[in-house]
Amino acid sequence: MKRPRPVAPSMRLNAVGASLATAALAENQRRSPAQAMGRLTANTESFSAHDENGGVVAEVLLGLLTLLCATATYLVASAALAKGDRAALAISLMPGVVTVVCAAILVLMAVQRRKERILAERRALNPEAPWLWTDAWRDGRIRSTSSWGAAGIVVGFAAVWNAAFGGAGLTLYWRGELSGQPGLGVLELIFGVAGLALIAGAVYMVLLARKYPPTVFEMSAVPGVLGGHLGGSIQIPARVPAGVEARVKLACDRTRRSSTGPLSWTLWQDELTVTTPASGSLPVAFTIPFDLPPSELPERAGMHDASPISWTLSVTVRVPGVDYLETFSVPVFATAGSDPSILAGTLDVSASAERPSHAKASVVESSADRTVFALPPAKGLGCGLSAFLILPLLAWPIARSAGADVATALVACGIALVAGGVVLALAAFAVALSATSIEIDREAIRVPHGRWPVRWTRTIPLDDVAEITCALAESQRVDVLTRHGAKYWISGDVSGPEEAKWLAAEVTRAVERYRAPTATSA
């Protein structure tokens, strides 16, 4: 397992991803673990009572609707059979379908109410241990998210998409409407390519579900502790070969529901690189910061919180054919053993850490007077230039095939030219902002940005450097905080949390090494 050696920290590296948490969350974190758990219990009880009362009313109303629809179905169908009226018999199917749907909803509601009763009983027995309230967490054996469920969703969507647009395309072809409207044919071609992509994705998901059976994560202690640790072993399938690299990630995500759909973002994440053992038991160990929110119960995710929290453990192994990928929903809570001094991003940096094998950055020079880190080259300019050249070329034939006259086609080309210019400008702007290297000497940190003809260098005197930070949320980068309160990012997105922590630690050590003579002389 590739981990830094435990040594005394010389400079703290803070992850800024947890700053996205709300003020209410910060208030809750200032409470003791027992107070926070009591508040969680009280909130869950109040919402359970509210949901139970509302559920009874909904069941009564839905039962009346089911009874009315069943009665209507019986009366209409009886009259139709007596008269031999097939049209009336077909009409009776409509309330019959509604009856079946309502009955199915009633069954689901009854199952949910039973789960709520079980949840209430377990909550009464263990009011300060939410991880014991649910079957998914009680025994510490966490089952992976079902691959067959995800495959079914993708297969269903692909089937509906191709049936709808494929049927429409065949209908237009049989009627001969595609021959006179080339633009409509191009549109159907685009939807057809998208349908083929969906079919490919569905096939991949089915192969993934068939190749790898559900996996179990056996926790060494339940739950994972805020301000503590989460550990255990993942029982990987026999088809995953031994001796290959596995990337294990623990992430805390918040999901906000809105009128436009769910929006998710990562508050914090950490990543390990582990070699798969021959025994098939992959060891996992993470240190979890205290200043993060606890898990949401799986049975009540999003029911009493507009922005539920989820803690997920994922493992990825690249193998020939279909890669191995599994995700586990894990319990993480504050307990009596929580250590408030473990904050997001705390890292030991006084000893060299091993560079991750998948890292994009590298050390190209390291001497007594200067250290240089090479960063991956900026990308995107070629895509912007391609859009600038291709969009106007496509606009003319598409506009003419749609029946536009020459003037309208020229206007379309002009609009496409402006759009391509905007894309090119955005790509050039992104390239100009991208750092290409980090150069540290006894005077300053120098970070060249961009490429010719847009190239500039940010210089930060070493005496102004207060702290090196690494962002471990959705983007992973390294920042410099100055004594004046300013913050400058000195690297773009790297390959993951491991590389961000490694690069931040190495930059910190270089800054301390080159600043040491000045401090001694003073």
In the chain, where the domains are located: 1-8+19-30+219-339, 33-128, 147-211, 362-378+434-521, 381-433
Helices (H), 348-454: 381-401, 406-433
pLDDT score recorded for residue 33: 47
Which residues contact residue 437 at a Cβ distance below 8 angstroms, ignoring those fewer than 6 apart?
Answer: 364, 372, 373, 374, 375, 447, 448
What is the CATH code of the structural domain delimited by 362-378+434-521? 2.30.29.30
pLDDT score recorded for residue 428: 80
Question: pLDDT of the chain along its 522 residues, tens only?
Answer: 444 333 333 333 333 333 333 333 444 444 444 444 444 444 444 444 444 555 677 777 777 878 887 887 777 777 777 777 666 666 666 777 778 888 888 888 888 788 878 888 888 888 888 888 888 888 889 988 766 677 778 888 888 888 877 777 777 677 666 666 666 667 777 888 888 888 888 888 888 777 777 889 999 999 999 999 999 999 988 888 888 999 999 999 887 765 555 667 788 888 888 899 988 899 999 999 888 889 887 655 544 445 678 899 999 998 887 788 889 999 999 998 899 888 765 555 544 567 887 788 888 888 888 999 988 776 777 788 888 888 888 888 877 776 678 888 888 888 888 888 888 888 887 777 788 889 999 899 999 887 766 778 899 999 899 888 776 655 677 888 888 888 888 887 677 777 888 888 889 888 888 886 543 343
H-helix or E-strand spanning residue 515:
helix 497-521
Q: Is 492 exposed, middle or buried (0-12, 13-18, 19+ CB in 10 A)?
A: buried
The one-letter amino acid code at 274 reads V
Pair of tokens at residue 52? 């139970």
Using the 8-state DSSP alphabet, how is residue 483 labeled? T
Three-state secondary structure call for residue 87: helix
d(CA 496, CA 189): 38
d(CA 330, CA 284): 13
The model carries a pTM of: 0.57
pLDDT score recorded for residue 307: 61
Architecture per CATH, domain 1-8+19-30+219-339, reads as Sandwich (2.60)
Is-contact 77 113, C-beta < 8 A?
Answer: no
pLDDT score recorded for residue 261: 57
pLDDT score recorded for residue 229: 93
Pair of tokens at residue 305? 């919180």
d(CA 126, CA 35): 15
Is-contact 479 488, C-beta < 8 A?
Answer: yes
Pair of tokens at residue 441? 């000497």
Three-state secondary structure call for residue 365: strand
pLDDT score recorded for residue 258: 56
Strand 228-235 versus strand 281-288 pairing type: antiparallel
